[in-house]
Amino acid sequence: MTSPPEWTVIDFIHRGAWWRNPSIRVLNLLLLLPLFTASINGLDSSLVNGLQILPAWQDYFDHPNGRTLGLISAAQVIGSIAGLPFTPLSADHLGRKPTLFVGAVIMLAGVALQSAARTIGMFIGARGLIGFGLTFVLGAAPLLITELAYPTQRGKLTSMYNASWYIGSIVSAWTCFGAYQGAGHSVWSWRIPTLVQALGPLLQVSFIWAVPESPRFLVAKGRESKAARILARYHSLTHDEQDPLIMFEMAQIRHALKLEKETSKSTSFITLFSTPGNRKRMLIIIALAVFSQWSGNGLVSYYINLVFEGVGIKDAGTKAAINGGLQVWNLIAAMSGALLVDKLGRRTLFIISNVGMLIGFGAWTLTTALFNTMDNKAAAKATIPFIFIFYFFYDIAYTPMLIAYTLEILPFSIRAKGFAVMNLAVSLTLAFNQFVNPWALDALGWKYYLVYCGWLIIELVFAVCYVVETKGRTLEETAALFDGEQRPQVLMQQGGEAATMSRNFAARGPGIWVEQEKSIVADVVALRENAPKRVSDRSSASTSMSRYDEERSTHSHSRIYEAI
């Protein structure tokens, strides 16, 4: 067995607490602005749910229901789908920061139109415009976070990004509650919550220029010196561009872009389904995307007023308070799931989630049926706890892992295209879901819940039969699970070395380079067996980086992780 190299990039990474490193501390503070994007999405997506509870909004728009209510809820998603073709073009040609800025400006225009809406058509148009701008922001912010974050912080920030959706939904729910308590039946009880939507985009428009541009984008545009300065400023304690870590990261970016150009010539969306391994990947990805919206969560996430009405809860203040408490509960559950991913494993969490959702939703269906058929008041009261139980099991898996698991099982050459397909599947499923749910609830009542009970059984069977465990594996080892062992020898050697290094460094300090950090180590690298011995002077380190560059260029098919 090949022994790991004595000199690796890990020796130059900060291994103490991140807040004790001023460069990382400043960078993480700046990344809060793009990280805020998921919360903005949560606020925008949840707002109509809260507005439905407010009597003033219902009266002003003549109590919309059925297909009209479905169109109001789906308008933002329809706008997002319309913006999808333009988002990657803007991010790749204008840059990550300008794309985020453009999206925030469009959202501000949509919020202004929505707040001043006088007709239902004007309100729907404003929701569509907000969705169109939101897709630009959502397309740029994760890229900026991934490509700027310090190597040891990247995984944590990515997990927090998706889970922070519920921060926005909490703000939405409690803003509607506060507006109702303060303004009652005044039109301002619904106009004020819509104006709150402007806060996030306004902060991003005002301060995004303080956040550095993606080094990867700068290198792609031939501005390597600026990219090196940014990496030195935020990744090096000494701000030295000759720091071995900075040199290594720059080499990784150059090679990744070179490989990206090579693979883009030979890959297309057809490639996603061209091999048995890729077809299995896409089956899992599309299924999880559909499950994330069709598990019954859409009933409460977008039509909570209809659910409450179905169990006899009529008071607007009570509805708003329960909705606000549910969003806080969701945030706690989602963050807990993110922390359990590396302890319990992906497959285990998905199975636990689906079993719990099936039991919780089954009980929810039963109590709703008892109230509607027998006017059982005790059953109506029991419905609320079962809603909370159902959401706990949904949040521990589908909120933190949908994006992370998708990117984890996709190989480099098709990762961007596969991720785009996942986003499209989520948007289309969500649009259909939002349009059909209110119509089906009006037509079938509680019996519509039985459809979701049957669907949840299908989800559980799928999770048991198809979801692959990736816990403790590098990206290369994960790829072998789908493609078999027919991988280039150099790739498998690198994967083994990366895993070996992560184990060796587990004892270096509390919470540093432990088992769950393997994916981070794999992101930043594995030097080859003939790498030079550990050195202390910068000139030797510089020579090492040059040798690394030369060696990597001789292996045109070597895997370069795009996370850098």
pLDDT bin (cut points 50, 70, 90) of residue 394 is: very high
Say what the pLDDT of residue 540 is. Answer: 39
Q: Are 526 and 389 members of one domain?
A: no
Task: Tell me the pLDDT band of 494, cut-offs 50, 70 and 90.
Answer: very low
Higher-scoring residue by pLDDT: 211, 503 = 211
Taking the C-alpha atoms of residue 449 and residue 456, their distance in angstroms, rounded to an integer, is: 11
What domain count does the chain have?
Answer: 3
What count of residues does the chain have? 564
**87 and 151 assigned to the same domain:** yes
Please determine, for residue 536, whether its predicted confidence score (pLDDT) is greater than 60.
Answer: no
The predicted-structure confidence for 222-266, as pLDDT tens digits, reads as follows 888 899 999 988 888 888 888 888 888 888 778 767 766 665 566
Q: What would the mean pLDDT of 508-534 be, rounded to a whole number?
A: 38
Decide: helix, strand or coil at residue 333: helix
Domain that holds residue 500: 215-227+238-269+474-553
The reply to whether 49 falls in a domain is: yes
pLDDT band at 338 (very low <50, low <70, confident <90, very high): confident
Predicted confidence band at 271 (pLDDT cuts at 50, 70, 90)? confident
What CATH number does residue 328 fall under? 1.20.1250.20
Provide the H-helix boundaries in 149-212.
154-163, 165-183, 188-196, 199-207
pLDDT score for 7 = 45
Let me know if residue 400 belongs to a domain.
yes
For residues 132 and 219, membership in a common domain is answered with no
Where b means 16+ CB within 10 Å and e means fewer, 218-231 reads bbbeeeeeebbbbb
pLDDT tens column, 351-363: 999 999 999 999 9
The tens digit of pLDDT for each residue in 443-483 reads 888 888 899 999 999 999 999 999 988 876 655 566 667 87
pLDDT at 266: 63
- How far apart, in Å, are the Cα atoms of 159 and each of 153, 155, 334, 342, 344? 10, 6, 10, 12, 16
Task: Report, as an integer, the average pLDDT of 180-184.
Answer: 78
248 compared with 108, residue with greater pLDDT: 108
Q: Which of the two residues, 396 and 560, has the higher pLDDT score?
A: 396
Please check the confidence at residue 129 and state whether its pLDDT lies above 70: yes
Q: What is the DSSP letter of 532?
A: P
Nearest-5° Cα angle at 112, 325 to 302: 35
Whether residues 515 and 466 share a domain: the answer is no
> Rounded to whole angstroms, how far apart are CA atoms 253 and 432?
40
**Are 259 and 276 in a shared domain?**
no
63 and 87 assigned to the same domain:
yes
- Mark whether 250 and 325 lie in a shared domain: no
pTM of the predicted model as reported, rounded to 2 decimal places: 0.69
In a domain, 560, yes or no: no
**97 within domain boundaries:** yes
Place of tokens 């299995």: 280
Residues 125 and 135 in one domain: yes
Residue of 76 and 564 predicted with greater confidence: 76
Residues 258 and 332 in one domain: no
Tokens of 65: 């229901």
Q: Residue 256 and residue 560: Cα distance in Å, rounded? A: 5
Share of the chain above pLDDT 70, in %: 77
Q: DSSP code of 530? A: T
